[in-house]
Each structure stands twice: as structure tokens, then as C-alpha cells.
């Protein structure tokens, strides 16, 4: 699913980038994909998805 319309970024690609960069920051995850926020409307949702994904990974690693 498209997460960031301005950059055409898919949620799964943003999550993979956040994992690779070991960051909870959407802006850093976008940078990993060669993008940067434009309108900024996706950032809260992106941050929530990244945080949920990191929590799931942490729980799975226990
Ligand atoms: S929808 Fe992501 S910056 Fe606009």
C-alpha cells in the first residue's frame, strides 16, 4: 500500500528502510529510499507504523 503519496513510497519499503537504518524516524527511513518529506501529511502515520513494526520485532526476538 502507498504510504507516502508525494514520493510514491510503499509501506513495506519504508518499514524495510527503517529496519536497515535502525531508526524510528520516518524522515531517515525516507532518506534511505532517496526521498524526503514534502507535504508531511504521511509522517505521523509512518512513525506509528515504524514504531509498531519495531515493537513486533522486539517481541519476536524475545
Ligand atoms: S504524503 Fe508523504 S510527504 Fe506528502
Q: Tell me, yes or no, if the pTM score tops 0.85.
A: yes
| Nearest protein CA to atom 2 of ligand 1, as residue | 4
Contact between 26 and 47 under an 8 Å Cβ cutoff? The reply is yes
Instruction: For residues 49 and 62, give the distance between their C-alpha atoms in angstroms, rounded to a whole number.
Output: 20
Grid cell, residue 18, equals 527503517
- 1 C-alpha to center of ligand 1: Å? 14
- 7 C-alpha to center of ligand 1: Å? 6
Per residue in 14-28, pLDDT tens? 999 999 999 999 999
User: pLDDT tens per residue, the chain (62 residues)?
Assistant: 999 999 999 999 999 999 999 999 999 999 999 999 999 999 999 999 999 999 998 898 88
Please report where in the chains the cell 526476538 appears, as a residue. 61
- φ, ψ of residue 17 in degrees (nearest 5): -65, -40
- φ, ψ of residue 48 in degrees (nearest 5): -65, -45
Please report where in the chains the cell 515504524 appears, as a residue. 50
Amino acid at each position: 500500500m502507498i504510504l507516502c503519496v508525494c514520493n510514491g513510497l510503499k509501506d513495506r519499503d519504508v518499514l524495510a528502510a527503517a529496519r536497515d537504518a535502525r531508526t524510528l524516524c520516518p524522515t531517515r527511513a525516507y532518506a534511505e529510499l532517496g526521498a524526503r518529506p514534502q507535504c508531511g501529511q504521511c509522517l505521523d502515520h509512518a512513525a506509528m507504523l515504524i514504531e509498531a513494526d519495531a515493537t513486533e520485532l522486539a517481541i519476536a526476538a524475545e
